[in-house]
Structure formats: C-alpha cells, structure tokens
Chain A
Amino acid sequence: MTTPNAFTLAEAREALKEKRLSSRELTEAMIAAMAASRPLNAFVTETPEKALAMAADSDARIARGEGRALEGLPLAIKDLFCTRGVRTTAGSRILENFVPPYESTVTQNLWDAGAVMLGKTNMDEFAMGSSNETSYFGPVENPWRAEGSNKKLVPGGSSGGSATAVAADLCLAATGTDTGGSIRQPAAVTGIVGLKPTYGRCSRWGIVAFASSLDQAGPMTKTVRDAAILLGAMASVDPMDATSVDMPVPDYEAGLEAGVKGMRIGIPKEYRIDGAPPEIDALWHKGAEWLKAQGAEIVEVSLPHTKYALPAYYIVAPAEASSNLARYDGVRYGHRAAGAKDITDLYEKSRGEGFGKEVRRRILIGTYVLSAGYYDAYYSRAQKLRTLIARDFAQAFEQCDALLTPATPGPAFAIGEKTADPVSMYLNDVFTVTVNLAGLPGISVPAGLTKEGLPLGLQVIGKAFDEAGVLRVGRALEVAADFKAKPAAWWGA
C-alpha cells in the first residue's frame, strides 16, 4: 500500500469506503506531514484537533453505513474562506486575530459532505499576488526545485499555500480562489490540477472579498477526477449570494471519460506572446497534438482583445478591492493601531499598519481610478473592454467547444525575483485573467516538465457553466500527458 498521503481524493474515497483505511489513520498521516512541512510555510493555521474530531465523526458514520460524498477525506482550506471558530486571516496583518462567528457556504458544503479540515493555507495578502510573497505570514515555498538547484521557488499565487499543500501531499486536495488566475497559475507551477468554475457556480458568501465581480472559488487537486469530485461538493445554489446562479449542480464525474472525439478545440492565436520561453509554445503544440490524436478537431480562433485583458483587470480589480477593503478600519474587528489621536488617525494608522505594501498600492490605484474625473477614463473604459473580451469569447465559441492555451508564461521563478517590478509580476496572469473578466470556467492540468524539471500546465477554457466539458478535455490531456512526476521531499516529510 502506498503511503496514504499520496492518495488521490478518489483513491482515498475508495480506501475508506472499502474500510482498508480509517479516516483517523488518513488524517493522522496528513497531520504528521503537515507538521513536518513547516519549512514550506504552506499553512497559516493548523487545526489538528478539529481534524481528528471530524475524522472520528466520519469513521462513526462510515461504520453506520452513512458515509457522504467526501466522508472522512482531509482537505486544506485557503485562508480566504471564513471558518467558524477558526482564525481567518486572508494572509493579512489586519485580520491576524480575526475569528469568524460564521462558516462560508463553500466550506459548509464540504463539511456537510463529510470532509475533514486540516487547516488554513497561506496565501497572498487578500489574494493580491501571483507568487505568494505578499503574505503577512511570510512567503510559501514551492515544493519543486530545479534539478540540482537549492534555489527557493515561488509556488505561484495567490492560492500558493493550497497548491503547495496538494503538491507536497500534505492533504488530499484543497480549496482555492481565483480572481485573475490564483487557482490555475499556482496549480500550473506546482504540477497539480486547478479549476476555476464559471462565475456564480460556487457561492462567494463567507469568502473574504478581493474583487467581487471576478472572485470565484474552485478545487485544487492531484487529478482531473478529483477536481470533478471536489467541485461537485463545493458548488451550490446559494440564496445568500445574489450572484450565485440558480442552476442545479450536475454530476461532474459522470462524463469525465467521454473523451474528446468529435470535439472542436480552438487555439487562440493571440495567446502566442513575444518573449515567452519556447518550452511553453512547444508544450502548447504538444497538447493540441494529444487532443487531435484522440479525435478532436483543432481550429485556430481569434480573441482580438486579449492583450487588453491584463490592463483592464488591473483597473477593475483594484477599484473593487479599494471599496471591498474599506471595511477593514479597526472599528469592529481586526488590527487597530495604538495611540490614535482621533478617528481619522485611527483609520489611517490601522490601515497603514494592517495592510502590506502590495495591498496598499492596489487600494491607492483603485481609489484613484474611481475618483472624480477619472471614472470614465479608467473604470468605465475597463468595463467596456470586458464587454469586448466577453464578446470575443462568445464569437470564438461559435467555432469551437473549448479553447486550449498555456496556463502560465513560464515555470516557477525564484522567491524575490520579480517583487521589485509590479508590472512584470502582473504578467504572470496573462493567460488566465481573460477567463475571469468574461466569467468563464478554466482548468489548468499538469502537462510536462521544463528541461530543469519544473512543472508546466496547459489551460482549457470552456463556455459558461460547461465545467463538465472543461473537465472532459482536461481529462484527455491528463491521460495523454501521463504526468507522474513528484517533487523530491527535501523539506523532510
């Protein structure tokens, strides 16, 4: 029997169902791995007692024959999901000691399905970042290292703690959130599967908001099947979220192996960018060949406004964030600066101290683009670009069923390498951000290694609410890529 840590969600589900393993044994193995992985800094808060209590409850249910969809399966939760009675920080000093008296809809759905919580994973502060270096709790390290190198690499961001926890076998799977690529981009550079569902598929209720019109929760898993299983549990129709869509949640596992025969896969020509490493382009070609070999038809399509997606995103997201983060004012919860001489001083000091550099910068950008005289030039224009970008996708989907693109412009880079230049950091999301602007589903599937031995991913983009189609194409890529590599456990697991 392989170590239970290496199980996929589906494998562990079978093992528990067949009583080859108890949830307690599985959970203890994860707790031990989590404790041994502290050099990775993947978790902000570990909840081993809670995990064991939940596991005991699951074992009792399994014994009674009352096991649910995720019964007894240990998961890691991005620290952006509010968890009742468990500190929720959003990676920020301003929420360092915040303990929510409520549970997010997505995590409640997971607990209702029987899942076990191991802890809360590290992340870029308020999900603002592409490398997990903006966390108040320190950077997360990617479990992967280039061959023969000890250089510390970023795990991508903002869901870098979740990506690392999955890649390093510290949990079976994890939740992430994706505003501009924060699930798919870290998934790609840590060699795991990451799915951003259609906007409105998973409830945003109880998830600390970054940019309300873009944020979406999704699964981060070891396999495409696991992504289907976890998404099925996370997704719901939520009356508490006005943007949650009234559509029943399908069985995503059902059509997973249907194959791509007869499907038309679009290759958007604008995703060929100058200066991208040749390995990216080569992998992309390979992906298209794989799908073609399985019977798909490959068609070239055009998404003419692609190059404007990232700048539009860096107007819309900071604008919404500047307003969403106004509630962190040191009055009702969160960090309050000492010695404020009046209320304005209290706000300015608490927010100045409580927010990190990147968050402060984005709040200022967002405040500026919404301010009197600039709204039309920036915010309104960016929202018009979104209309054009969404229209591009709609037109492309008249010619194909799904799109295939690279997930990232390159593999994991070194910690500290890009922090000095915000724009170069932002460019890491160049392939993922279009999907958020149009509200579409996208998946990143590990597809190969660079010549230094670092993982790379391919992205499949689908029509709105066609997560099933996206998973099906993702599964076809997974089968063809046969990606089996694992990072060497240098951190002492």
Chain B
Amino acid sequence: MSVDKDTVRRIAKLARIALEEERVEPMVNELNQILHWVEQLGEVEVAGIEPLTSVVAQRLKMREDEVTAGGDAEAVTANAPQREDDYFVVPKVVE
C-alpha cells in the first residue's frame, strides 16, 4: 500500500496539522518510504494470534468514588494562551 497526495492532505486534515502545498509531495515520499519498510510485517502469518493489549499482567486498577481533585480553576487555566473569567477562549465555533 502506498499513499498519494490526496491521502496525505486528508491525513494532515484529520491530524489537524497545517501542511503547505509544497510540503505535500516530499511528505508523500517520506511516508511511502516508511510504509514500504513496515510492509515486511505482511510476511508473518498472524492468523489466530491475538493482538497484544497490555504487557502488564494485572487487573485494571480502580479508584474509589471520592472527590480528590479540582477546585482550582486558576491552576487549570494558568497556562492558557487566551482566557477570560476562568474560561478558555477560542475563536468562535459555529455549530
């Protein structure tokens, strides 16, 4: 499998990464080089093999239903590029 320019544009859009038009072609080549290289995995017979879900052999840890965090809007918003009255501010979103 290999990617073309349209695929790279679509992927960049999905990933929300600006990609100038002149970067599309080189990116096609770089991705194809990597994808071609990883394609050797196709040599391996994987029928009946379960994908590894975790290397940790234990049960999922759980938390009790107790309020242990929050209550500090200042700390939460302190690093925000734009904020107002403890809200994060972004360009207007149209629904």
B-binding residues in A (CB < 8 A): 97-99, 101, 199-200, 213, 239, 242-246, 305, 307-308, 311-312, 314-315, 322, 326, 329-336, 340-349, 351-353, 355, 360-361, 363-365, 367-368, 371, 374, 377-378, 380-388, 390, 422-423, 438-439, 464
Please tell me if B46 contacts chain A, counting CB pairs below 8 Å: yes
Contact residues in B for A383 (Cβ distance below 8 Å) = 51-53
Q: Nearest 4 A-B pairs (CB), nearest first?
A: A439-B55, A352-B18, A383-B51, A333-B79
Chain A at the B interface: SS class: helix
Given known A213-B55, A336-B81, A351-B16, contact A422–B41 (CB-CB < 8 A): no
Contact residues in B for A349 (Cβ distance below 8 Å) = 18
Given known A311-B37, A314-B38, A343-B91, contact A387–B11 (CB-CB < 8 A): no
Partner of B17, one of A330, A364, A422: A364
Please tell me if B90 contacts chain A, counting CB pairs below 8 Å: yes
Interchain CA distance A347-B18 in the complex, whole Å: 8
Minimal Cβ-Cβ distance residue in B for A387: B52
CB distance from A116 to the nearest CB of B (A): 25
A101 contacts B52, CB within 8 Å?
Answer: no
Interchain CA distance A239-B2 in the complex, whole Å: 43
A-binding residues in B (CB < 8 A): 1, 3, 7-8, 11-19, 27, 30-31, 33-35, 37-44, 46, 49-58, 60-61, 63, 72, 75-82, 88, 90-94
Contact residues in B for A378 (Cβ distance below 8 Å) = 38
20 CB contacts below 8 A, A to B, read A98-B79, A200-B55, A239-B63, A242-B61, A244-B61, A245-B58, A246-B58, A308-B40, A314-B37, A329-B16, A336-B81, A368-B11, A382-B38, A384-B51, A385-B41, A385-B44, A385-B46, A387-B52, A422-B33, A464-B57
B3 contacts A368, CB within 8 Å?
Answer: yes
B38 contacts A363, CB within 8 Å?
Answer: no
Minimal Cβ-Cβ distance residue in B for A380: B51
Interchain CA distance A384-B47 in the complex, whole Å: 9
B51 contacts A387, CB within 8 Å?
Answer: yes
Interchain CA distance A98-B79 in the complex, whole Å: 6
A423 contacts B51, CB within 8 Å?
Answer: no
B81 contacts A334, CB within 8 Å?
Answer: yes
B30 contacts A384, CB within 8 Å?
Answer: no
Given known A377-B1, A384-B52, contact A364–B33 (CB-CB < 8 A): no
CB distance from A200 to the nearest CB of B (A): 5
A439 contacts B16, CB within 8 Å?
Answer: no
Interchain CA distance A331-B61 in the complex, whole Å: 31
Minimal Cβ-Cβ distance residue in B for A373: B1
A365 contacts B34, CB within 8 Å?
Answer: yes
Interchain CA distance A351-B16 in the complex, whole Å: 7
20 new A-B contacts, CB < 8 A, other than A353-B18, A361-B27, A384-B49, are A101-B76, A200-B55, A312-B41, A332-B79, A332-B80, A342-B91, A342-B93, A342-B94, A343-B92, A344-B16, A348-B13, A351-B17, A361-B34, A381-B41, A381-B44, A382-B38, A384-B50, A386-B52, A388-B49, A422-B30
Minimal Cβ-Cβ distance residue in B for A342: B91
Interchain CA distance A239-B19 in the complex, whole Å: 40
Interchain CA distance A374-B1 in the complex, whole Å: 10
CB distance from B35 to the nearest CB of A (A): 8
Contact residues in B for A361 (Cβ distance below 8 Å) = 27, 30-31, 34
Partner of B56, one of A200, A381, A384, A422: A200
Contact residues in A for B3 (Cβ distance below 8 Å) = 368
Given known A368-B31, A381-B41, contact A387–B50 (CB-CB < 8 A): yes
Contact residues in A for B90 (Cβ distance below 8 Å) = 331, 343, 346
B49 contacts A387, CB within 8 Å?
Answer: yes
Interchain CA distance A315-B39 in the complex, whole Å: 10
